[in-house]
A and B are shown apart, each in its own frame.
Chain A
C-alpha cells in the first residue's frame, strides 16, 4: 500500500517534463527538488532523533562551495609563502567531495554538541552556519566573497564507451535532481527502518531506557548527523551546478527556516513529509508571484503554515495517515492478533 503510493508518486514526478514544457515552472520544480532533498536531510535529524539543526543550510552551502571550487579550481596563498593550487576537476568529483566534506563537518558538529543535547545542539549549529558564512564572505581569494563564484560548470555524467554527457537542459537537471532525491529518500527509509533507526527512535522516546539496553547516544546521533549533513551537501552541490553561481547569501538563515517549514508542515518523522511540505512551500512562491510582492510572500508562508498545522497538527502526512488508519480500523472489529514468526498481524 505505502510502497505502491511511493512508486506512483515517483512515476508521476518522473512524467512531469514530458508534458510540462514551461521553462519557468520547470526551473521552479528543479530548485524545489533540491530544497526537498535538503528538507529530507533535516528531517532525519529533527524527525527521527528530535535534534533541531538550525544551521542546517551550512552543510548545504558547504556542499555548494566545495563542489564549485573543485570544478573551478583555485589558487590561494596560505600563511608562510605557501600557495594552495588546485586545477579544475570534473563536476562529478565535486559532487562526491561535497558529500564527503559536508559529512565530515556533520561529524565535527555532532562531536561538539552531542555530549550535551537539546538547546546546545541548536546553538552549535546556528553558530557553525554563521562562521561558515563569514569565511565564505571574507576569504575573498578563495570564494570571491560577495562577488560570487561564477561560471560553475554543469554536471557531466561519464558514460562508459560514449565519453560523457553534460547535463545542460532543464529536463536533464530535473531528472538528475529526481534521481538524487530518490536515492536520498531510499537511503533514509532504509536507515530509519534498520536497527539504527530503532536506536534513534528509542533515544527520542525514552533516552534513559534506551541507554540502559545498550544504545550509545553519542554514536547514534553522530551517525545521524553525518548522514544528514552528507545528504544536505549533495543537495548543495546540485544547486551550485544547476544555478551555476553561488555567493555567501546561500548561508542565509532564512534558507534554514524554509527547510524547517517544509519539514514541519509535511510532518517531521515521516518519510514523505518533507517531500509533501517541500513541494508546497517550494512552489508557493510560483503561485504567489503574480499576486504578491516578494516581501509580502513571507506573510503568506506563515499563514499557510499556521493553517496547515491548525487543521493537521502533526503535519500533513502523519495526520492524514492517522485519520486514514483510524477510519479503516473502525470498520471491521479488530481480530485478536497472534505473533507469527515474522511478527506480522494475523487473525488468531
Chain B
C-alpha cells in the first residue's frame, strides 16, 4: 500500500445487541481515495459496522474518526455533513416521488438557502434552485436512468432502485462513500456497468468503502480488502493476498459460498 492520508480510522469498535456480539474489537483504516472492501459471510457484522460509522448506532466500545473528527455522539445528518455518506442494503428511495424529485431531495446539502430567501423567492434562492435542477439531471444521466426520470421511484425495478440509491448518495456530495451490497439484485451487465461507475466515482476523488458478496466484482475493484467473520477481522490485504489466505478460504468461502 502506498502512503496515503488516512480518511477514516475505526478504532477498537465493539457492538453488542444484548447478549449477541455483532462486532468485537474491530480496527482498520481507510486511506483517502482508496477503494476498500469489507467482506464476510452473512451476519458477520458488515452492515452493523456501516451503522456505527454513519451514526445510526452507538458502539458499545471504541470510536470512529473521520478526517480528524471523532464521530461518537454525532447524529446521522451531522455525519453526512462531514461528507461521509452511505447507501442501504435494503433498497431505499423516496418511493412516492419521481426519480428526478428523489434527486432534488438528495441534493439537500447543496441546496441550503436561507428560509426567508426561499419564501420570498429572492434571486439567490432561485439561482440555487436552477443549479439543483441541473445537477439532478446530470446525476440521473450519470447513473443512466434518463428514461426513468419522471417515473415514481417506487415503481422502478430492484436494480434501478439501487442505482437511484447510489445517485442519492452522490447527490449528498460525499468525500467518502459507504456502499452496502450495491450490486445485489443486478444482472451481469448491470454489475459490469456499476463497476465502471465505482471507478469513475473514485476518479472524482471520493474514498469508497464497499460491502459486497459478489467476489469477482470485489476482487476487480478493490485496492484492499478487510475480511470480517463473526464480528472479528480475520484478514486484511490486497486482493491477491486475500485470495490466497487459508483463513479466508476456510471461513468465508467454506460456508459463505453456499449462502451468497
The residue that B88 contacts in the complex, of A194, A208, A216, with Cβ under 8 A, is: A208
* A to B contact number (C-beta, < 8 Å): 116
Q: How many residues from B make CB contacts under 8 Å with A? A: 51
Q: Is A212 an interface residue (CB 8 A)?
A: yes
Interface residue ranges, A against B (CB under 8 Å): 187, 190-191, 194-196, 198-199, 201-202, 205-206, 208-217, 223, 336-343, 345
Docked pose: A334 CA to B236 CA in angstroms: 52
Which residues of A are found within 8 Å of B132, using beta-carbon distances? Answer: 195
Contact status A209-B101, CB under 8 Å: no
Beta-carbon contact of A187 and B119 below 8 Å: yes
| Alpha-carbon gap, A205 to B104, bound state (A) | 14
24 contacts between A and B (CB under 8 A): A191-B119, A195-B129, A198-B104, A198-B105, A198-B108, A201-B97, A202-B108, A205-B95, A209-B94, A212-B80, A213-B105, A213-B168, A213-B172, A214-B108, A214-B172, A215-B105, A215-B108, A336-B147, A341-B137, A342-B134, A343-B133, A343-B134, A343-B136, A343-B149
Asked, given contacts A190-B118, A196-B115, whether A202 binds B92 with beta carbons under 8 Å apart, the answer is no
Cβ-defined contact, A339 with B146, below 8 A: yes
Query: A198 to B150, Cβ gap below 8 A?
Result: no
B207 beta carbon closer than 8 Å to chain A:
no
* A213–B93 CB distance below 8 A: no
Residue numbers in B under 8 Å from A339 (CB-CB)? 100, 137, 140-141, 146, 149
Question: How far apart sit A214 and B83, CA to CA, in the bound complex (Å)?
Answer: 9
CB contacts (< 8 Å) of A213 on chain B: these are: 80, 85, 105-106, 108-109, 168-169, 171-172
Cβ of A338: which chain B residues have Cβ within 8 Å of it? 146
A contact residues around B147 at 8 Å (CB): 336-337
| B111 & A212 in contact (Cβ 8 Å cutoff) | no
- Closest chain B residue to A337, Cβ basis: B150
Chain A residues, CB < 8 A from B107? 195
Q: Given known contacts A214-B85, A215-B108, what 6 new A-B pairs fall within 8 Å (CB)?
A: A195-B132, A211-B77, A212-B86, A214-B172, A215-B105, A337-B147
Please, which residues of chain A bring their CB within 8 A of the CB of B95? 205-206
CB-CB under 8 A for A341 and B133, given A211-B77, A213-B109, A214-B172 = yes
Determine the chain B residues whose CB is within 8 A of the CB of A199 once the complex forms.
105, 108
Is B5 interfacial (CB-CB < 8 Å)?
no
Across the interface, name the chain B residue whose C-beta is closest to A216.
B77
